[in-house]
Structure 1
């Protein structure tokens, strides 16, 4: 079951980045995000009600769902959609893969789970990889503020996603059903995003083109309903840090697609930087104590 959930998250989230790219244009980012999660949240709530699986929540739990919605289905996506105007969406996905490090930090801050010693090596590799990945672009642009802004927004959005992971973990530790909390959080994130769009005076009319509407439906139904449901189910089954392992794989899918659709060019520094980031994430999941114990047992058996 875990393998299937991983596969869904990797394949779907690896392809949603190009769908975000297809939504770039005259429609403001808050409006695109609003329609994406409006379709997704209504779909989830209708399905749960029809299946009689929508559970009651206390007012206190609803407030935490509101907070989760702001972190995972609102402000973080505003960061990602805005950053797509400044950097390649495939590169956004690479930065998003750093969620595993943010999860380790937030697990310590909120649950007092001490990060393993390998965290520091993983963080060093990841940060070095980010700098290496963007080094040519930074030099070519003369450390242009637009590029730095795009990188910073992607990192901020990733941190928001990690905070949402912590809230999902909080729900599940209280025995709340993932689909219920996820649905309410998505609805609340939609309402907050809609309020922001209204405050900004944005026009809520979507772009009636095949590419925009196709991307909207893909992001709403597969990217939001299916992928987020699979991901937060993984968080409950194996923990936030292990679930974030999926972020190690989908940047490879996203960058491959970006190569064909956005014209991403693989310079040597990009390959080396991506390798450092992926190795850094992999280090977070390495369990040397298990490896040494296995080797010792084999040696004793011999």
Structure 2
């Protein structure tokens, strides 16, 4: 079950970049994200109400859902989208892949979980592999004030994503399932995005064509309803640090799709980077060897 959820998350998030590119145009980014999570929330609430699976959430749970919504379905996306205006998307992917390391550290700080050496090593290998995969894009970008600002926003977005992971893990420990908490979190995130648009004077326009509407539906239902539910379920089952290795793998899926869609060509450094990413994946999910108990010495 865990493997199926893991592969589902990687494949879905590895293809959402196509839909994201189709969203770029006349509609403001903040408005597009608001539409995405408002629709995703509506779908989740409808499914849960019709199936009788909507859980009751107390005031404490609602407060956590609110903060989780701001972290996972609002502010982090604003950070990543804004950062992408100033730094290459490859650099954003490399920074985002540090979520594996941040989740391991945060799980230690907030939940007193032991940091597994293989998870840290695997995360570091994956990060290095992604850097090699996107090296041509990174090397061709000149450093500037905007570059530093973009890097800072990408780091903040990654930290917000990690914080949302911790909050989801906390909710699951309290017995609340990701379907319910995501429904509320996406609703709160969409409301905050609407507020941001209203305060900033961003128009709520929409493109009534198959390209925009189709990409919106893909991002809202497979990309958000299915993708985030599968991923946060993994956070509860496998731990935040292992689940976050998805952030390393889905850029690899995106690059493989780019071979057919955009004519991307694999190079020797990129192939070595892919090898490091796969090796990191093996390390992250390697189970530690059980230590055999030492039998007490017999008394003569």
TM-score tier, shorter chain, comes to 0.7 to 0.9
C-alpha spacing 1:180/1:11, structure 2 compared with 1 (3 Å)? same
Task: Output the CA distance in 2 between the equivalents of 1:142 and 1:251.
Answer: 22
SS in 2 for 1:289: coil
Which residue in the other structure is 1:64 paired with? 64
Which residue in the other structure is 2:25 paired with? 25
Segments of structure 2 that go 5 or more residues without pairing to the other structure are: 293-300
SS in 2 for 1:249: helix
TM-score by length of structure 2 reads: 0.84
1:164 shift after superposition:
0.8
1:245 shift after superposition:
3.9
Task: Output the CA distance in 2 between the equivalents of 1:274 and 1:145.
Answer: 31
SS in 1 for 2:244: helix
Which residue in the other structure is 2:104 paired with? 104
CA RMSD of aligned residues (A): 2.8
Alignment of 1:270-281 (within 5 A): 270-281=270-281
1:154 shift after superposition:
3.6
Alignment of 1:240-255 (within 5 A): 240-255=240-255
Task: Give a deviation string over 1:132-190, Cα, whole Å, max 9, x none.
Answer: 45554444333245555545444432322221111011001111232111110110011
Task: Give a deviation string over 1:56-95, Cα, whole Å, max 9, x none.
Answer: 1111110100000011101111123234444555664454
1:194 shift after superposition:
1.0
Segments of structure 1 that go 5 or more residues without pairing to the other structure are: 295-302
Mapped pair 1:239 → 2:247: no
Which residue in the other structure is 2:298 paired with? none
Are the aligned partners of 1:20 and 1:81 in contact in 2 as well (CA < 8 Å)? no
C-alpha spacing 1:26/1:262, structure 2 compared with 1 (3 Å)? farther
Task: Give a deviation string over 1:26-49, Cα, whole Å, max 9, x none.
Answer: 322111110000110011112212
Which residue in the other structure is 2:51 paired with? 51
C-alpha spacing 1:232/1:120, structure 2 compared with 1 (3 Å)? closer
Between the two proteins, the alignment pairs up a number of residues equal to 292
C-alpha spacing 1:12/1:135, structure 2 compared with 1 (3 Å)? closer
C-alpha spacing 1:15/1:124, structure 2 compared with 1 (3 Å)? closer
Are the aligned partners of 1:138 and 1:144 in contact in 2 as well (CA < 8 Å)? no
